[in-house]
Structure 1
Amino acid sequence: MRFHWLLLSVFSSFLLALPAQAGKLVFWRFDSGQNRLVFTTDDRVQPTAQLIPNPTRVVIDLPGIVLGQPSVTENFSGTIKSVRIGQFDAQTTRLVIEIAQGYTVDPQQVKIRGISPTQWTVDLPQPQRVNSSPDTLPPLPPVPSPSTTRPNATTTTTTTSNTSDTSGDFQVTRNGLFVRLERNGDERKISSKRSRDRQKIEFELPGATLSENLLGQTFPVNNYGVSQIQFEQVSGSTARITLSVSSSSPDWQALYSRFGGLVLLPQGGLSSFNNGNAPNSPAPISINIPRNQQQQAIIQSIDLNSSNTQLNISSDRPIRGSGNWNFNQGVYEIRIDNALLSDSFRGPRLGTRSAIYQLRVRQEDADTVLIMVQPALGYQLGQLLQSSDQLLALELRSLRTPYEPNPVTRPPVVSIPPSNPPSNPPISLDPTPPPRPNPPKGRTLVILDPGHGGKDPGAIGIGGLQEKDIILPISQMVSQILEQQGIQVMMTRSSDYFVSLEGRTNMANRAGASLFVSIHANSMGAGRPDVSGLEVYYFGDRRLSDTIYRSIVRSVNVKERGVRRARFYVLRNSKMPSTLIEVGFVTGQEDAAKLRNSNYQRQMADAIARGVIEYIRQNRL
């Protein structure tokens, strides 16, 4: 049986995300009426696809993505038999669309499209009946990566006819050779030796098992000075790979990837080959490193200095890095060529007052380390400096704004009960919350209103997901971000208790708040899991709602349902600019999965806070 792989990215096999940084599949849906599969991840992904016969299946693998739940199978009637979602290996989720027996699809009509780095669609043509299922199928057509993955970059698709019969278990890529295999946990080191005539390089892999497609096979390579590669299983627990090379070829090294495969690279990197025989490879990047040190550097650690003003990247050898903003992702990307992450790599611990909000590090391909930095609110990134041959430093600068708190002179928070309380207080508490602080004079005050609470759970969605449990942590994170900017915040509830609608607006009006921001989650009922998305409401002036809405859709992967006018009680009865944000639908299959995720909640909170700050600055409150 022959499998046919489509390499959607030349580096797809080498996206070696750190285990702690693995993304998740947060949503998928197959529309049988349109033969369309839609899926969403919480981190960008570069899928690979293959078409398999007997029966015909379209298989999509998501490297670096985990399912986080048991396998799922959804059966259909008609020409599409089923869709299955499962964990292929520890770092790869697999989606399988199985065509009904006796039908097939034209692979040239299968359309795989990246709407964004985290949203993909797979459109199938109408399956056609065949007399018998073919033993082989032509490969799926190449599909480019979404343009938002790397702006202004040229996407290169590599296909290698020499390896079309290997099921993707052996691939020649622009950064070396890749072999898919299994390991049984044996951590003994890979050994290598070169023949006396220097024309054979042999690797012994203890604890490794080759796939059936590779056993006893020899394949032509004809790239990088390698004429062919041979695979043997010399024992039940040891595999052997032999490269046939020219006598002048440099030595090669073998490195295990985190996706259960093996990467084969020439020592000194592919810059050793200047004859242009690397498939689709760009001109080598010149780096100013002495000749005797032109080996891959090992990135050992990334640390914040004690003054929170510099991010330090240290290596065991000289390194050079380049930095650019990826505005589609909202992160600053630092690329370090000719480098690998250390097996004992460690990153910084990011506290609530760190200058960096989020840091992600991964081995983007066989010799490039990618570091993605997102500054915290109140900080901006400076220059990328070469502190020494083995140390890169990224400057971190604090923004001195009118809203930045002064830790020395900030007035104390005092608790003052309201004057002349009514005999029947409008706030019904369950249980009794702590007393509310009176805001300092002359300081912007934002009322954050997490809807519902206590005996009122709000909307109840998929899997019993309750609105009150989603919006409270989001509101608390918004409060924390605003307070870090020196903006005074009062919350209508700070834990799980009930507050009436009248009590919420009375609190804001008595305090003389500058803004009122109510946070909710939406519902369309159990019968409409197809409805998901963001909605923001206003009653009078809509500028606050517009600003927050723009901030969210710029940085959060959420469907846009617009800004609308509504006569909600809290909007009609608050005496300051007010808005009500529906962060998503707890009854929506797509939104519910996201809203359970603490990282997604943090993204939503960050976007709301940025919108509030932007409005305050625009209106000089």
Structure 2
Amino acid sequence: MRILNRRRRGLHRIGAPILGLVGAMLMATPAAADRLEFWQFDEDDNQLVFTTDEAVRPDVRLIFNPTRLVIDLPGIELGQQRSPQPGDDEIREVRVGQPQAGTTRLVVELASGYTFDPDDIDIRGRSPREWVVQLPEPEPLDDATATDASESIDDIEVEEPPPGAGADLLEVASELEAVEPADYGFYLRLSGEDVPFEIDQTRRDRRIVLDLPNTRLAPSVQVPEDSLEQFGIEAMEITQEEVDEDELPRVRVTLDLEEWGDWQAVETAVGDIVLQPGRQASDDEEDSEVIAESPDDETPEDEGSEDDTSDEDSAVGSGQLQSIAFLPERNALQLRVSGDVSYSVEQNGTNYRLRFPNTRATDIRPLVLDRSSRLLNVAWEMDDADLVVDLEVAADVRVGQPAETSTGFGLRQQGDRLITLAFERAAWTPGTPLPSVPMPDVGDRRITVVLDPGHGGRDPGAVGIRGLQEVEVVNAVTPEVAALLEQQGVQVVLTRADNRTLELETRVQVAERASADVFVSIHANAISMSRPDVNGIETFHASSAGQILAAAIQDSLIEATGSPSRGVKSARFFVIRRTSMPAALVEVGFVTGAEDAPRLEDPGYRRLLAQAIARGILQYIRDNR
């Protein structure tokens, strides 16, 4: 089949972001740069392996006195600083750094008196994102082979990835990795660059066609057959379209509908796509034709029309506050809003005011608060065209930074948004009692959760104050999370059950082979040792379903520990981007933080972290599975 590359000619593209407008008090963050995701040096085999989240071609040279193999990765940012890995008698150390913005550097430095034969250095790509550097045995350096420090060897051969090992990804902008069903439609998860997608709707054939130009189809993508009936879809096809030699590849998603209805494609904040039904056409609309009206046929002004808006409505605005709910298990307040809504938050002691400009409230049910609630009072009223919501909280909590999630889409391509405000306790300190963390009941759901303790083996992860290693923390926390989940009837699979070295791809394969419903990777954070003031917990996601999971875990952790919240963020970490199920990566604190490090060393606090993570996962399962 020959598909013409039409580039939006005569086609309709909708590109509104999936997330709503962020409130005035929130700061927008730039898109994450391409990053070094993983590196490991195996001293037994003299082998260095590194992985990036996007394609890269290493620039390699050998420098002398002392001998150093320098590998520069142009266009790659250093995601997380890690202490140098010490070597043996012949290899002094392996380290990573960032000599300039946009370039990450890996260095293998030999001990004094040793060198490499450059002809025996083998550098090859397993894929455009994963590279292996096989080093020869270091040779003693004698006077005959000594080289001046100013000299270097730049023409070391770099072997490109073989065909079929992912090299074709260098030629296309994006890859469709998964089509995930959701309550609002289908979430299309992509990696790589944004693509100018095109959606074509044919009423006569009841067919919706979404084209993704310059995109490859991952072999693992499957049609979500079980979800077609609920959206009135007779058939769905996801195909890699054949094109002429001078054209770029494209992926096509085709829906054959049982009855005609408008559909829309919406680009998310992280570059993925939501494909969803819009308004269902009535029988009259389906049978009628659009006829251009002459001025004589216009509706008289005194009779009005269905599209007219009353003066009262236009004075208040299009945004609506639809409901206010208190979530006792999350110790949080949740507001549901729709339309074009922004907001700001002001604090005066234990009183907080949320102001929603140009917004009105629907019939909101009053809240019934338990006497033990840390939320003492909630009230709302109109202030001219602004809606204000006043909160009073107990003296031992504070209102955290608002977090937003989207619940779907309505007729105007914007759906309801949930604004969640967690009531955060004072941070737990060693030596004080641990708070109670009750576990939600998920009933008899058959759920499989894969837990991924980060790093391990020869890779200790980040190293912080007093030599605290990231792997020490995650190795203690993860098994406790597993035990807590299993007590609630959840099946748990660990990517590693001991302190072994494990590659990123292997972690993903464990989750896929287990047909997991949820994937959670557990880590500890780090920054420069000169910044002990940086502390807090943050959780990352790479999809809409992952965002909901990440928010549940983050809320639970902040409520339980009282640690500073660094928010729920989108990221392109390999293990959460390559897994097909809802996935989150949680950073439980900074091993380099003056406040976090002593807590992370404490066995009681590690149990508290495990309880909070398990509770967050269970809350996600209870509410979304």
TM-score normalized with structure 2 length: 0.35
TM-score normalized with structure 1 length: 0.35
Higher relative contact order (CA 8 A, sep 6+): 2
